[in-house]
Amino acid sequence: MVPPTTPARSVSEADLQALLDHRLLFVTGKGGVGKTSLSAALARLAAQQGKRVLLGDLDGRGDLANAFESGPLSFEPTKVANNIWAMSMDTEASMREYIKLNLKIPMVGGVGPVASAFDFLASAAPGVREILTIGKYCYEVREQHYDLVIVDSTASGHIISHLGAPDALRELIRVGPLLDQTSWMNKILHDGDITGVVMVAIPEEMPATETIELRDRLENETSISRAAVIINRVLPELFSTAEEEVFDRIITGKQRAALVDHAGETVEAVLAGATFASNLRRSRTQHIERLFAEFAGADDTVVVVPQLFVRTEGLRVTKLLATALSEEL
């Protein structure tokens, strides 16, 4: 769905397929724009194609369990739907797994002195702690345990530090196993056919601004490709241009008093609600047009998802958003 006044290229089924053909997607955006729900919806779309999907977060504070109305999630992936497994990041568990897989040291009980030393390094050197989270998902891609890994990422203001962690670490460590780790991770992260960032915005000033700023930071500070821009919670148009002119005449002219006399005072509430919705839609259109102007002229896939007049989370919302995404693309 594209606002009729917005000069944007149309998106197609091919755009959807190109998005879901990635192996690793990071979904990010300003807090409150619906990135968790859209991460779950993208996972559902991919699963419907028969793809095995791993859905996780970066900070362990996500709400992915609610998106599928499952039990609490842990570091160990849990099947939450057909073809979908979900997990919650745990830095200590990721550290244990890293040491076991890469340093070949058996871990019994606590994380042990080696892990403590690693934790000290993680606190002292920028990028090490982020390697434990980004690296987990890159590892799942490398080992091909899943067809698609979708990461409900941190907010747009913090995602760059995670995505840039391998490059930051390479600046500090020139030899050794950690350098080897950053090398294979960078091959995955820097391959635009494998990895992409999905930026989520809503039609308000600050989310739109942060999305544009994130685009610039991705270009200037990382080598990670953009996969799509999703403009979420777009209000429907109540009236066509001709209908809006008629409505404006009604609410400002003698017809309003006639309507009230004929239908009663309740019509005032209806007119007030319609006026509010129409004005809100108009005020948000400028932000939609701004985002299209910034992104649709390039090779970006820009998707507009309508406002769902339902609660903001839960399995029903996940299903509705997946349907809305498939219809918009």
| Global confidence as pTM | 0.84
**Do residues 134 and 191 make contact, with C-beta atoms less than 8 angstroms apart?**
no
Report the alpha-carbon distance of residue 284 to residue 281 in Å, rounded. 5
Confidence of residue 86 (pLDDT cuts 50, 70, 90): very high
CA 197 → CA 37, 149, 301, distances in Å? 16, 12, 11
Contact 87, 75 (CB under 8 A): yes
The DSSP-derived string for 143-197 is TTSSSEEEEEPPPTTTHHHHHTHHHHHHHH--SSHHHHHHHHHHHHHT-TTTEEE
CB 235 within 8 A of CB 277: yes
Closest to 138 measured CA to CA, from 153, 149, 123: 149
Spatial distance between the Cα atoms of 141 and 181, rounded to a whole number of angstroms: 14
The per-residue pLDDT for range 183-217, each reduced to its tens digit, is 888 999 999 999 999 999 999 999 999 999 999 99
* pLDDT-derived band at 236, boundaries 50, 70, 90: confident
Query: Dmax over Cα atoms in the chain, in whole Å?
Result: 84
18-38: average pLDDT: 94
For residue 4, what pLDDT band results from cuts at 50, 70 and 90? very low
Sheet holding 195-201, edge to edge: 78-81, 84-86, 53-57, 148-152, 24-29, 195-201, 226-234, 302-306
Q: Three-state SS for 73?
A: coil
Residue 167 pLDDT more than 80?
A: no
* Average pLDDT over all residues of the chain: 82
Express each pLDDT in 30-84 by its tens digit.
Answer: 989 999 999 999 999 999 999 999 999 998 777 899 999 998 999 999 999 999 9
pLDDT band, very low/low/confident/very high, at 106 (cuts 50, 70, 90): low
Residue type (1 letter), 80: V
11's tokens: 């998106």
Please, which pLDDT band fits residue 297 given cuts at 50, 70 and 90?
low
Tens digits of per-residue pLDDT, 246-270? 777 777 766 777 777 776 677 777 7
Domains and CATH numbers, the chain: 13-236+289-328 (3.40.50.300)
CA-based R_g, the chain, Å: 23
